[in-house]
Amino acid sequence: MRDCFEVRDYDAAGRIGELTVPRAGVTVETPALLPVINPHLQTIAPSELEREFGAEMLITNGYIFYGSDEYRERALDEGLHDLLDFSGAIMTDSGSFQLAEYGDIDVDTPEILQFQHDIGSDIGTPVDIPTPPDASREQATEELAETETALEVAEGVDVGEMLVNAPIQGSTHLDLREAAAAHAYTTDLDVFPVGAVVPLLNDYRYDDMVDVVAAAKRGLGADAPVHLFGAGHPMMFALAVAVGCDLFDSAAYALYARDDRYLTVRGTKQLADIDYFPCSCPVCTSHEPSDVRERADDERETLLARHNLHVTYAELRRVKQAIREGTLLDLVDERARSHPTMLDGYRAMLEYVDQLEETDPVRKDSFFHTSAESARRPEVLRHHERLDRLPVDGEEILLSEGAKNRGFDATWRLKPPFGPFPRHLSKTYPLTAQVPDRLSREAYEAAADGIARLVDANPGTAFTVAHFDWPESALARLPELPLVDLTEEDAN
């Protein structure tokens, strides 16, 4: 049991948790965003991030301090917290990014971890090898072996109370990612960044991102805090949290601002294209887009960075509220409409419905069936699994979308996308779901799968299905049984 992380609430595989960072003397609520601070380029001061945006944690690159004539000695003398003027938790990176970019760095894991410790980092990082997506299996395997060695070396370095990251690599080879996670979890290291996903995010490969995270999650225990390393665009927070990510870091707010780009939860806009700000943050309510465009470069950059951070933190709060309410998958569904690749990410996530179902709460307040994808949610899977066990009260049972019982031993209700259930369960979650009248084909197909499951579990019972004009694709999934089309009955 890892004592630095505790989960408070679950929704799908998303969770609200508490990460205790002993060296900083703070407990950070997750999901959390760590703004990236580059000491050479501070768009917004860390003290302001803390005061105005509520940042509880930030990340900076230990290797930049290590190699900087300007900052190295100051960091060692003053410590990162005083130097950056930040009282929350500070995570440091090791230079692995520079290693991936330039092929070589002049430091090894024991030395850089010791250095991170000496400058007062609260969570340090060993030198892992970030293998990019689509690398050959051979390269990914070899580099993963080096990363695993680095983690084992890191275990042996005495860093006192500093927590240590155990990065998970393996490129886009999902079995390697899972094995890497399982290995990392056996070490006594503390936080688990899923590494080298930035190229996936830059290419809008959200489905591959989901595959990689889901693979890593299969190798980790529930008490492992997971950091989606390098991910900071608010449009993908709901999706990434729903698959089980707890920490994000954002350089995006500043990098995008430098490039006149304006973040929204539905994607990125160019400042030049905006006539009206779709946001109620202090920047957007006190400026017109034209005012911002006319500002000097550094002023414009700061204004955009501030907006970008506001929208980023607001989305994180929205995600947390959704977890509390049990509506995270509704939010993911909504966000999935912002870009076709986000929809791919959402559909990829639903392939792992078994994984999501494990931690999805049994009771929630509401289930709004608002899309074809809703038919594949964990609640539907769970109901289908329950159909294997529900006692059947009679030899001849009518499964009906209507009300009439024509001399059967019992009538069960039939409700897409769940399928059949005894009437006494009508008022229990998720069968209380609000379902539109005009359902998608997928909802009927899921209901038909539920019927098939019930029939399969009760070979001695004769079932009859009474439906309102179900599509052929759904009827084709049913086993051989008597069918009544209630639409035709009504017409007669």
Binding site for Zn ion (CB under 5 A): 279, 281, 283-284, 307
223 is an annotated ligand-binding site residue = no
Rounded Cα–Cα distance for residues 283 and 280 (Å) = 8
Q: Sheet holding 483-485: strands in order across?
A: 419-421, 410-415, 396-400, 462-467, 483-485
Could you give phi then psi for residue 88, rounded to 5 degrees? -80, -155
Does residue 264 contact residue 46 with C-beta atoms inside 8 Å? Answer: no
DSSP state of 220: S
Q: For the CB of residue 232, give the shortest distance to Zn ion in the complex, in Å.
A: 16
Does residue 272 contact residue 260 with C-beta atoms inside 8 Å? Answer: yes
- 3-class secondary structure, 218: helix
DSSP state of 351: T
Q: What angle is formed at CA 317 by the lines to CA 316 and CA 320, rounded to 5 degrees?
A: 90
- Closest alpha carbon to 209 in 9, 406, 346: 346
Residue closer to Zn ion, measured from CB, 215 or 271: 271
222 is an annotated ligand-binding site residue = no
Q: For the CB of residue 283, give the shortest distance to Zn ion in the complex, in Å.
A: 5
Q: For the CB of residue 261, give the shortest distance to Zn ion in the complex, in Å.
A: 13
Long-range pairs for 436-439: beta carbons < 8 A, 24 or more residues apart: 436/369, 436/370, 439/369
Q: For the CB of residue 279, give the shortest distance to Zn ion in the complex, in Å.
A: 3
Residue closer to Zn ion, measured from CB, 252 or 446: 252
Q: For the CB of residue 311, give the shortest distance to Zn ion in the complex, in Å.
A: 6
Residue closer to Zn ion, measured from CB, 16 or 283: 283
Q: For the CB of residue 266, give the shortest distance to Zn ion in the complex, in Å.
A: 13
- Kindly name the residue from 11, 93, 249, 333 that is annotated as catalytic: 93
Residue closer to Zn ion, measured from CB, 274 or 283: 283
Joined together, the tokens standing for residue 102 give 């330039």
Residue closer to Zn ion, measured from CB, 293 or 423: 293
Does residue 475 contact residue 465 with C-beta atoms inside 8 Å? Answer: no
Close Cβ partners of 222 (under 8 Å, ≥ 6 residues apart): 7, 359
> Parallel, antiparallel, or unpaired: how do β-strands 14-21 and 26-30 relate?
antiparallel
284 is an annotated ligand-binding site residue = yes
Q: For the CB of residue 235, give the shortest distance to Zn ion in the complex, in Å.
A: 15
Residue closer to Zn ion, measured from CB, 289 or 471: 289
Please confirm, yes or no, whether 82 is among the known catalytic residues. Answer: no
Residue closer to Zn ion, measured from CB, 279 or 466: 279
Helices marked H in 224-264 = 237-243, 252-258
Close Cβ partners of 423 (under 8 Å, ≥ 6 residues apart): 411, 412, 413
E-strand ranges in 344-471 read 396-400, 410-415, 419-421, 462-467
Rounded Cα–Cα distance for residues 121 and 143 (Å) = 26
Task: State how far the alpha carbon of 209 is from the alpha carbons of 12, 129, 158, 219, 242, in Å.
Answer: 17, 18, 34, 16, 12
* Catalytic sites, residue numbers: 93
**Which residue positions form the known binding site for substrate?**
128, 196
Annotated binding-site residue numbers: 128, 196, 279, 281, 284
Can you say which residues are annotated as belonging to the binding site for Zn(2+)? 279, 281, 284
